[in-house]
Amino acid sequence: MRADAKKNYEHLLTVARAVVTEQGADASLRDVARRADVGLGTLYRHFPTREALLEALLRTSFDGLTASAGQLETSSSPGDALVAWLRDVVACANEYRGAISTMVAAIEDPASALHASCVTMKAAGARLLVRAQAEGVARTDLDGADLFALVGALAWLGDQPSLAPRADHLFNVIASAILSNRAPQTTAPARRIRTRSSPAG
């Protein structure tokens, strides 16, 4: 990519991140182009579909979550690693309101621009779950698909203004249900789930 084209791409991505953070995954592409001070055709040359734009925004986060799962496997106990990763992936999903629906759909659609990175991230979480199950600290009637479904449910809570204040509490309830040896926490964890109505801690 030429230097000027790369600069334009990065500028569009920066503007798109701000717009999608404000408006959610269904953000207006016309707003992105307008704020970036480019024509809609220029935006579509870089990002021909909404999914392509979301993929560009989310890819770095997904790759980070995949790498984090690998690090947690060697640096934390099986139970702590699973809960830490689950909290981080829910926070990632809450970055862009409504993105979880796109992520879930991408898992089932190999043609989706998000498919590969979503599948890789989901597999990383599944490995953490299997590790915890093998150590006897996680219930064995869950699999990777169940874990990702719980991510979707918890992310949805963070997207609802009336329910977002309870997101941390309900995360702890779910975490204690996944792990067979952990009681629900009675105080807020050090790292709070990022929600639309609650800033990151």
Question: Which CATH number belongs to the domain containing residue 9 in this structure?
Answer: 1.10.10.60
Report how far residue 15's alpha carbon sits from residue 167's, in angstroms, rounded to the nearest whole number: 28
The answer to whether residues 183 and 84 belong to one domain is yes
Q: Look up the domain containing 76 and give its range.
A: 49-194
Q: Sorting pLDDT into bands at 50, 70 and 90, what band is 193?
A: very low
Please check whether residues 122 and 181 belong to one and the same domain.
Answer: yes
Instruction: State the average pLDDT for the chain.
Output: 85
| Listed range (18-22, 131-135, 189-193) with the worst mean pLDDT | 189-193
Helix (H, G, I), strand (E, B) or coil at 138: strand
3-class SS string, 64-118: HHHHHHHHHHHHCCHHHHHHHHHHHHHHHHHHCCCHHHHHHHHHHCCCCCCHHHH
Number of domains in the chain: 2
Summarize pLDDT for 111-122 with one digit per residue, the tens: 887 888 889 999
Chain centroid to CA 38: 29
Q: Which of 2-6, 49-53, 146-150 has the highest mean pLDDT?
A: 146-150
| 9-55 per-position pLDDT tens digit | 889 999 998 998 888 888 889 999 999 999 999 899 988 888 788 88
DSSP states along 14-42: HHHHHHHHHH-TT--HHHHHHHHTS-HHH
Is 35 part of a structural domain of the chain? yes
**Residues 39, 69 within the same domain:** no
CB contact at 8 A, 194 and 200: yes
Mean pLDDT over 162-191 rounds to 76
CB 103 within 8 A of CB 62: no
In a domain, 200, yes or no: no
Between CA 138 and CA 146, with CA 144 as vertex, the angle to 5 degrees is 80
Six-digit token pair at 9? 């791409």
Measure the CA–CA gap between 99 and 21, rounded to whole angstroms: 10
Enter the pTM of the model.
0.75
